[in-house]
């Protein structure tokens, strides 16, 4: 009898959990052990961190413990922090032990590269960000302080940022909240972005989203600056290269991202930014048996822009990558080749009192389909429904719904 294959997945979020479930769906427990290693004990529905920041969700409402759903699927859960990956010896090293693997999927997400701009925060400077659970909770406290003492604010992204969608959501959600509370007249709002035009989002734009966002900002009296390189954030302002500074008492600035330190410093694994180079099956371009999905995978930007903007790796794209990688491992175990697919993108952008649904295929222009852009309050309801549905499916170990928006 052949020994069981050992499959290790690092990360328990969109990439890791989806890959682990999909692997188990395709490979029975007599053929392979599947181990998920995650430094976080819980799965968190990251897109709702903006709602945690706005105070309309708690972290408990948008997360669940990973151990029970994984063990129900005969997947081992190791609540450990990975220190390094030795791709020559094929082991994942944690403080507690070494996990040998035949196949490894790295889905470790990002590190906020706050060192890129002086003052990016919140734990490295006066800036704020929704990029992790702790940062979203900190931002919620900062927003509470703004309600008590209204003043000018800047929302935006630093040069090299890739995850710009949440900045748009926060500026619209804040505008909506401040109007509702009759505080908006005391809060001049600016949106500062490295994107060459509104709605570029690191994807080269999407149909008429530029016009829609420009109109929405003008209607809501949100001043915007594009191709803007933020150089410094202080307690009083945000400095922009070549154009001086914008007064700001609350600066929410999305940082550029890098790969996590354990991956970045593991020899032969990552590029200089700490992301993992992959092929169309999300296999590492040289390390045998290694895959990377989600934010951990390296993608080139879509074209050059005057101020750098990087390619976004959304939750929806992360899931597609996880499915492709899992299918490839299952096929290789069966002695077959699997197919791959171009990534598409779908998301719902919360605009406070309304929302816009965006769908593009493929992600990079030129595209086969004219992008779908649809605005209306129904999309806000759909975004809320999707969060609930997704969390339920993920907790039950069910295949995630793919037809609804993100
Ligand atoms: C505020 C915000 C809003 C967003 N909104 C949307 C949206 O509306 N739609 C959309 O499609 N996408 C959205 N995204 C993007 C989406 O959340 C990401 O694409 C997705 O989280 C990426 O999943 P991932 O599995 O690659 O990484 P992550 O979600 O970052 O997960 C990383 C995992 O790796 C684990 N890990 C990290 N380091 C270690 C270590 N050393 N050892 C062990 N485990 C480790 C973590 O515990 C975690 O489980 C948003 C992102 C943010 C921040």
* In a shared domain, residues 104 and 157: no
* In a shared domain, residues 40 and 138: no
Give pTM, 2 decimals: 0.97
How many angstroms is it from 386 CA to the middle of ligand 1?
A: 17
User: Is the C-beta atom of 259 inside 6 A of ligand 1?
Assistant: no
Nearest to 103 by CA among 35, 38, 55: 35
User: Is the C-beta atom of 47 inside 6 A of ligand 1?
Assistant: yes
Ligand 1 pocket mutation, candidates 10, 12, 14, criterion most atoms within 8 A of CB: 14
Q: What is the structure's pLDDT at 323?
A: 95
User: Is the C-beta atom of 153 inside 6 A of ligand 1?
Assistant: no
Query: Closest Cα to atom 6, ligand 1: which residue?
Result: 47
Judge whether 351 lies within some domain.
no
Judge whether 160 lies within some domain.
yes
* In a shared domain, residues 22 and 87: yes
Report the CATH number that the domain containing residue 124 is assigned in CATH.
3.50.50.60
Judge whether 55 lies within some domain.
yes
Strands 76-78, 98-100: pairing is unpaired
* In a shared domain, residues 125 and 250: yes
* In a shared domain, residues 177 and 241: yes
Counted domains in the chain? 2
Judge whether 282 lies within some domain.
yes
Which H/E stretch holds residue 18?
A: helix 14-26
Judge whether 361 lies within some domain.
no
Pairwise CA distance, residues 343 & 280, whole Å: 10
Q: How many helices (H) and strands (E) does the chain have?
A: 9, 22
Q: What is the structure's pLDDT at 2?
A: 63
* In a shared domain, residues 308 and 216: no
What pLDDT, in 10s, does the model give residues 205-253? Answer: 999 999 999 999 999 999 999 999 999 999 999 999 999 999 999 999 9
Judge whether 369 lies within some domain.
no
Question: The domain containing residue 75 runs over which residues?
Answer: 5-110+259-340
Judge whether 154 lies within some domain.
yes
Q: What is the structure's pLDDT at 337?
A: 86
Q: What is the structure's pLDDT at 1?
A: 46
* In a shared domain, residues 86 and 197: no
Q: Given 295, 317, 340, which residue is the final one in a domain?
A: 340
Query: Closest Cα to atom 38, ligand 1: which residue?
Result: 108
How many angstroms is it from 13 CA to the middle of ligand 1?
A: 6
3-state secondary structure of 388: helix
Q: What is the structure's pLDDT at 339?
A: 86
* In a shared domain, residues 64 and 142: no
User: Is the C-beta atom of 254 inside 6 A of ligand 1?
Assistant: no
* In a shared domain, residues 268 and 319: yes
List the chain residues with pLDDT less than 70.
1-2, 401-405
* In a shared domain, residues 145 and 178: yes
* In a shared domain, residues 15 and 104: yes
What pLDDT, in 10s, does the model give residues 154-179? Answer: 999 999 999 999 999 999 999 999 99
DSSP secondary structure of 276-294: BPB-TTSBBSSSTTEEE-G
Active site residue 347: yes
DSSP3 helix / strand / coil % (the chain, rounded to 5) = 30, 25, 45
Q: Which atom of ligand 1 is nearest to the CA of 46?
A: 17
Pairwise CA distance, residues 24 & 72, whole Å: 11
User: Is the C-beta atom of 233 inside 6 A of ligand 1?
Assistant: no
Judge whether 45 lies within some domain.
yes
* In a shared domain, residues 280 and 237: no
Active site residue 184: no
DSSP secondary structure of 73-87: TT-EEE---EEEEET
Nearest to 101 by CA among 69, 76, 66: 76
Query: Closest Cα to atom 8, ligand 1: which residue?
Result: 47
Q: Given 322, 340, 358, which residue is the final one in a domain?
A: 340
User: Is the C-beta atom of 356 inside 6 A of ligand 1?
Assistant: no
């Amino acid at each position: 009898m052949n020994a069981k294959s050992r499959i290790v997945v690092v990360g328990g979020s969109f990439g890791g959990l989806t890959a682990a479930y999909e692997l188990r769906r395709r490979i029975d427990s007599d053929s392979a052990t599947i181990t998920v290693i995650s430094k976080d004990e819980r799965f968190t529905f990251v897109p709702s961190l903006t709602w945690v920041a706005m105070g309309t969700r708690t972290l408990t409402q948008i997360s669940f413990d990973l151990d029970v759903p994984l063990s129900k699927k005969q997947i081992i859960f190791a609540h450990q922090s990975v220190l390094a990956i030795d791709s020559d010896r094929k082991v994942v090293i944690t403080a507690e032990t070494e996990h040998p693997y035949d196949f490894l999927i790295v889905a470790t997400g990002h590190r906020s590269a706050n060192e890129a701009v002086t003052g990016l925060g919140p734990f490295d400077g006066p800036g704020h960000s929704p990029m992790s659970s702790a940062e979203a909770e900190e931002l919620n406290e900062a927003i509470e302080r703004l309600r008590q003492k209204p003043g000018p604010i800047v929302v935006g992204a630093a040069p090299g940022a890739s995850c710009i969608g949440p900045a748009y959501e926060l500026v619209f959600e804040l505008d909506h909240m401040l109007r509702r509370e009759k505080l908006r007249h005391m809060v001049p709002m600016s949106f500062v972005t490295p994107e060459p035009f509104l709605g570029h989002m690191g994807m080269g734009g999407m149909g008429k989203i530029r016009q829609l966002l420009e109109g929405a900002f003008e209607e809501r009296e949100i001043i915007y600056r594009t191709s803007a390189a933020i150089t410094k954030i202080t307690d009083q302002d945000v400095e922009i290269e070549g154009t001086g500074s914008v007064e700001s008492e609350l600066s929410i600035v999305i940082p550029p991202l890098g790969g996590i330190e354990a991956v970045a410093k593991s020899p032969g694994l990552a590029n200089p930014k700490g992301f993992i180079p992959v092929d169309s099956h999300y296999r590492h371009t040289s390390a045998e048996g290694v895959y990377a999905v989600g934010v951990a995978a390296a993608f080139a930007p879509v074209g050059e822009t005057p101020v750098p903007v990087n390619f976004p790796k959304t939750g929806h794209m992360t899931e597609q990558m996880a499915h492709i990688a899992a299918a490839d491992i299952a096929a290789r175990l069966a002695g077959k080749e699997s197919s791959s697919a171009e990534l598409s993108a779908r998301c719902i952008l919360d605009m406070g009192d309304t929302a816009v649904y965006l769908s593009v295929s493929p992600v990079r222009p030129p595209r086969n389909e004219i992008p779908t852009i649809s605005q209306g309050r129904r999309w806000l309801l759909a975004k809320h429904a999707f969060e609930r549905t997704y969390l339920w499916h993920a907790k039950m170990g069910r295949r995630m719904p793919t037809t609804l928006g993100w």
